[in-house]
């Protein structure tokens, strides 16, 4: 299996981090215990700016979850269509050639799902296999690639499409002044990413997917996720996330690579989810990486923030535009609610 095309697209509304912190300072003017503490969270996120589905001032006008979710559906369809067309057009692939589409998201709900709503906008085959996935959160991009590769093992003559759309700003909660929520308003951005993969019988060039591994960590349900309430998605984001990375990642990576007769020293490229500065630092420490090993991830975090499931795909897209030397081994990985991790071994 190969990854043959990638694309990222973003909403047109972009704000520097200082603007976002200033908006929230006014938004929560009467409720914040310390505006200075909130601004410090925003500075420490190491995010320079982010894209938003709607203008900041319009976020405060959303009256309830229903209104926010209506915006999610409308924006997700538009961004999703743009990302899909961009990825297909890059290699001149007709939409009708796609055998399966996997759609991942954690920031809105739609039924019919977003992939179904794209069927009447993009000329997909009427027999395409649609696989919408909700609930994977930040790990969804890596898991989506792995599941697409699984599909192509069974259908090596086909192509599969992965689409991720995350509109994290639409999950903001007016009444939630917890540290977890304030951190999330400092970290997460909006965007979409698409990846086209093909089976072993295709003639396109691209990095090969050699193997994948899923790992679930017992009794970690409270580390990350949503508490879903009448008001919408209330974030769960434990300060233990970096510690979970430090405790588990090295063991899991060593096991995964060992199963493929490799070690960490063989890996020339690390394509890691932009979970935040503490998470990226924990990855660097756990794997004993060189200072520049995660440059692509740090750059994505700075320029667009954490895009949840789309983050690791945005990092991959940058690397696809600046591919490494042929023969380079790479690991694409993310962690998310469950708590769990997904790893994909690739070779250029």
Chain centroid offset of residue 338 CA = 16
Backbone torsions φ then ψ of 170, nearest 5 degrees: -75, -5
Burial category of 281 from C-beta neighbours within 10 Å (exposed 0-12, middle 13-18, buried 19 and up): middle
- Evaluated on CA atoms 28, 33, 36, 38, the torsion sign reads negative
Q: H or E segment at 16? A: strand 13-16
- Orientation of helix 311-321 relative to helix 295-304, angle to 10°: 120
Query: Do 327 and 239 touch, CB atoms closer than 8 A?
Result: no
| Cα dist from 24 to 86, 157, 340, whole Å | 34, 51, 32
What is the gyration radius of the CA atoms in the chain, in angstroms?
19
Report strand pairing: 340-347 vs 329-336. antiparallel
Query: Do 289 and 283 touch, CB atoms closer than 8 A?
Result: yes
User: Of 138, 168, 198, 300, which is the active-site residue?
Assistant: 138
Establish whether 138 is a catalytic residue.
Answer: yes
| Cα dist from 230 to 40, 65, 257, 321, whole Å | 30, 7, 44, 42
Q: Which residues are known catalytic residues?
A: 138
């Amino acid at each position: 299996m190969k990854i043959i095309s990638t694309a990222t697209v973003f909403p047109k509304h972009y704000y520097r981090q200082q603007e976002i912190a200033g908006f929230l300072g006014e938004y929560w003017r009467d409720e914040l215990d310390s505006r200075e503490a909130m601004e410090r969270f925003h500075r420490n996120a190491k995010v320079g700016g982010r894209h938003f589905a709607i203008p900041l001032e319009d976020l405060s006008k959303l009256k309830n979850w229903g209104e926010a979710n209506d915006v999610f559906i409308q924006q997700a369809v538009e961004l999703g269509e743009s990302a899909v067309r961009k990825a297909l057009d890059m290699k001149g692939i007709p939409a009708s050639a796609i055998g399966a589409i996997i759609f991942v998201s954690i920031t809105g709900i739609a039924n019919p799902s977003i992939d179904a709503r794209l069927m009447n906008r993009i000329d997909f085959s009427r027999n395409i296999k649609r696989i919408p996935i909700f609930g994977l959160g930040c790990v969804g991009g890596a898991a989506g690639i792995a599941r697409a590769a699984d599909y192509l093992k069974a259908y090596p003559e086909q192509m599969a499409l992965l689409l991720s759309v995350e509109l994290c700003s639409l999950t903001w909660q007016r009444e939630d002044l917890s540290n977890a929520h304030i951190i999330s308003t400092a970290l997460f951005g909006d965007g979409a990413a698409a990846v086209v993969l093909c089976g072993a019988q295709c003639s396109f060039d691209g990095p090969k997917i050699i193997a994948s591994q899923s790992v679930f960590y017992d009794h970690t349900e409270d580390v990350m996720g949503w508490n879903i309430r009448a008001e919408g998605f209330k974030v769960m984001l434990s300060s233990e996330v970096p510690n979970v990375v430090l405790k588990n990642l090295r063991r899991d990576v060593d096991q995964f690579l060992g199963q493929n007769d490799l070690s960490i020293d063989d890996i020339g490229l690390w394509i890691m989810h932009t979970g935040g500065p503490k998470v990226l630092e924990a990855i660097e420490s756990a794997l004993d990486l060189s200072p520049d090993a995660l440059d692509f991830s740090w750059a994505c975090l700075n320029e667009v923030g954490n895009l949840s499931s789309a983050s690791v795909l945005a990092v991959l897209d940058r690397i696809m535009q600046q591919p490494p030397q042929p023969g380079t081994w790479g690991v694409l990985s993310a962690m998310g609610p469950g708590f769990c991790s997904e790893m994909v071994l690739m070779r250029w």
